[in-house]
Chains A and B, each alone.
Chain A
Amino acid sequence: MDINILREYIPLYKDALFLTMKIGWQGILLSLILGLAGAAILHFRIPVLKAITGIYIEIFRNTPLLVQLFFIYFALPKVGIKITAETCGVLGLGLLGGAYMIETIRSGLESIPVIQTESALSLGMTKEQTFIHVILPQAISMSVPGLLANIIFLLKETSVFSTISLMDLMFTAKDLIGMYAKTIECLFLLVVFYLIMLLPVSILGSIVERRMRYGQFGD
């Protein structure tokens, strides 16, 4: 391994990391919003929207992100919907993640005992107040480990962005290998930069999980 080559490549990887993180976190934000909205729809059993949410979850959980991205990026322009590669990445990741987040948040909502709702209602709170002030905060804290697992999964999935020609980490590595054939240096940096991106989230995840277990210990 050649140190000089590493030094030369690091700035390129750094740019790629920023792009990957930018798209990744925007996509994750979108997926959290979709997840909350979808979970609320399923929780309140809103007639038509409930069916749509169900279909949405099944479609996006049962197809690969790569195929979803290809469809959004290459197929939709043919029917007049043109979007940039970056928006496509955010949209694809957000839609995929949303389907997973809904399930996670919903199982959090289901784990809250009915007595919580009943008590809140008998205290004179409205249905909306009960949901926002009593049920949701508990449900979110219950589903934090699951949400973090989803976030790690989504950050890993960003590696397919290179296929729609976004200059992410994977794209940079592939490009540099193709041009200069310094395979080992390129792959080494690729691993290092994915670690920089994912290790903190992973460590956070295991800390949170341990704390949650500690919290349940008294039960």
Chain B
Amino acid sequence: MANLGIDVLFKGTNFLRLLQGLWVSVEISLVSVAISILLGLVVGVLMTFNKLWLKAILKIYLEIVRIMPQMVLLFIVYFGTTRVFGWDITAEAAAIFVFSFWGVAEMGDLVRGSIKSIPKIQFESAYALGMDKKQTYFYIILPQTIRRLIPLSINLITRMIKTTSLVMMIGIVEVLKVAQQIIEANRKASPNAAFGVFAVVFLLYFIVCWPISRLAVYLEKRWA
């Protein structure tokens, strides 16, 4: 009971390595979130258009993302497509692709919801003033939508960071993998290291995600 293996973290550069591992996850999620927000805005606007074929395609896309676990998508891209098409992609690229694929659909749906929540009169007034469709969206609808969207997209960031812990499964060395390596390396010297190290990883994720989700709650209350 005396030794819970926290001391392992202070040996050499272990703690620094854990933080670097965490940064790998955060980096992948930040890149994916950036892509998701940009493309998500476009997809979300497309979702509100009244074209049947467009609606059908986007609906199928959304449903695929909703139903398939991200881990399955990761496997399909990293192991499946490389096999079928014979190309060579790094695990990081596969991860960013999958998380963006997922994020764009989620973000698109959020954008669609926010646009739908804007009263119809805003569109009608803009048209009555002689604006065309592009101008209406650009100057009237999107500015209002974005304000409602910001808390929701911040939430997406925390979800993204939490989901990126899966990339360990396709061989990316992130915080959990580093944790396992540290535990393995100290198996003899400190058999209880698993407790200390995994507790710290647990805490690290919490420290990263908690402030972000508090911010989202705060903004949602303030801007709702």
**A residues adjacent to B (C-beta < 8 A):** 58-59, 61-64, 66-68, 70-71, 74-80, 152, 156-160, 162-163, 170, 173-174, 177, 183-184, 187, 190-191, 194-195, 198-199, 202
Q: How far is the CA of A160 from the CA of B197 in the complex (A)?
A: 20
28 contacts between A and B (CB under 8 A): A62-B162, A62-B213, A63-B202, A63-B206, A63-B209, A64-B162, A64-B163, A64-B166, A67-B176, A67-B201, A70-B176, A75-B194, A75-B197, A78-B4, A78-B195, A79-B1, A79-B4, A159-B69, A170-B69, A170-B75, A173-B75, A184-B83, A187-B79, A190-B72, A194-B72, A195-B67, A202-B63, A202-B66
Chain B neighbourhood of A163, CB < 8 A: 168-169
- Contact pick for B165, options A58, A66, A198, CB 8 Å: A66
With both chains docked as a complex, state the minimum distance between the C-beta of B13 and any C-beta of chain A, in angstroms: 22
Q: Is the CB of A191 within 8 A of B194?
A: no
Chain B neighbourhood of A66, CB < 8 A: 165-166, 168, 176
Q: Using known A-B contacts A59-B206, A194-B72, determine if residue A74 contacts B79 with beta carbons closer than 8 Å.
A: no
Q: Using known A-B contacts A79-B1, A183-B83, determine if residue A74 contacts B194 with beta carbons closer than 8 Å.
A: yes
Q: Using known A-B contacts A70-B176, A74-B198, A75-B194, determine if residue A64 contacts B79 with beta carbons closer than 8 Å.
A: no
Chain A neighbourhood of B201, CB < 8 A: 67, 70-71
Determine the residue in chain A with the shortest Cβ distance to B84.
Answer: A184
Other A-B pairs beyond A62-B162, A66-B166, A158-B69, 7, CB < 8 Å: A62-B206, A67-B202, A156-B69, A159-B70, A159-B72, A190-B72, A194-B67
Q: Is the CB of B72 within 8 A of A191?
A: yes
Chain A neighbourhood of B213, CB < 8 A: 61-62
Interface residues of B in 133-188 (CB under 8 A from A): 158, 162-163, 165-166, 168-169, 176, 179, 183
Determine the residue in chain A with the shortest Cβ distance to B211.
Answer: A62
Q: Is the interface of A mostly helix, strand, loop or mixed?
A: helix
Q: How far is the CA of A201 from the CA of B67 in the complex (A)?
A: 10
Which residue, A58, A61, A62, A202, has most C-beta atoms of chain B within 10 A? A62
Q: Is the CB of B67 within 8 A of A199?
A: yes
Q: How far is the CA of A16 from the CA of B192 in the complex (A)?
A: 32
Q: How far is the CA of A195 from the CA of B162 in the complex (A)?
A: 24
- Contact pick for A152, options B5, B66, B202, B210, CB 8 Å: B66
Q: Is the interface of B mostly helix, strand, loop or mixed?
A: helix
Determine the residue in chain B with the shortest Cβ distance to A199.
Answer: B67
Determine the residue in chain B with the shortest Cβ distance to A201.
Answer: B67
- B71 in the interface (beta carbon within 8 A): yes
Chain B neighbourhood of A160, CB < 8 A: 71, 166
With both chains docked as a complex, state the minimum distance between the C-beta of B140 and any C-beta of chain A, in angstroms: 27
Q: Using known A-B contacts A62-B205, A152-B66, A190-B75, determine if residue A78 contacts B194 with beta carbons closer than 8 Å.
A: yes
- B199 in the interface (beta carbon within 8 A): yes
Q: Is the CB of A157 within 8 A of B202?
A: no
Q: Is the CB of A58 within 8 A of B169?
A: no
- B60 in the interface (beta carbon within 8 A): no
- Contact pick for A198, options B67, B70, B75, B191, CB 8 Å: B67
Q: Is the CB of A183 within 8 A of B176?
A: no
Q: How far is the CA of A71 from the CA of B209 in the complex (A)?
A: 17
Determine the residue in chain A with the shortest Cβ distance to B197.
Answer: A75
Q: Is the CB of A67 within 8 A of B75?
A: no
Q: How far is the CA of A78 from the CA of B5 in the complex (A)?
A: 10
Determine the residue in chain A with the shortest Cβ distance to B169.
Answer: A163
Chain B neighbourhood of A152, CB < 8 A: 66-67
Q: How far is the CA of A59 from the CA of B158 in the complex (A)?
A: 13
Chain A neighbourhood of B206, CB < 8 A: 59, 62-63
- B68 in the interface (beta carbon within 8 A): yes
Q: How far is the CA of A63 from the CA of B169 in the complex (A)?
A: 17
Q: How far is the CA of A68 from the CA of B1 in the complex (A)?
A: 21
Q: How far is the CA of A121 from the CA of B80 in the complex (A)?
A: 61
Q: Is the CB of A191 within 8 A of B69?
A: no
Q: Using known A-B contacts A160-B71, A194-B72, determine if residue A67 contacts B66 with beta carbons closer than 8 Å.
A: no
- B31 in the interface (beta carbon within 8 A): no
Q: How far is the CA of A173 from the CA of B74 in the complex (A)?
A: 13
Q: Is the CB of A183 within 8 A of B79?
A: yes
- B76 in the interface (beta carbon within 8 A): yes
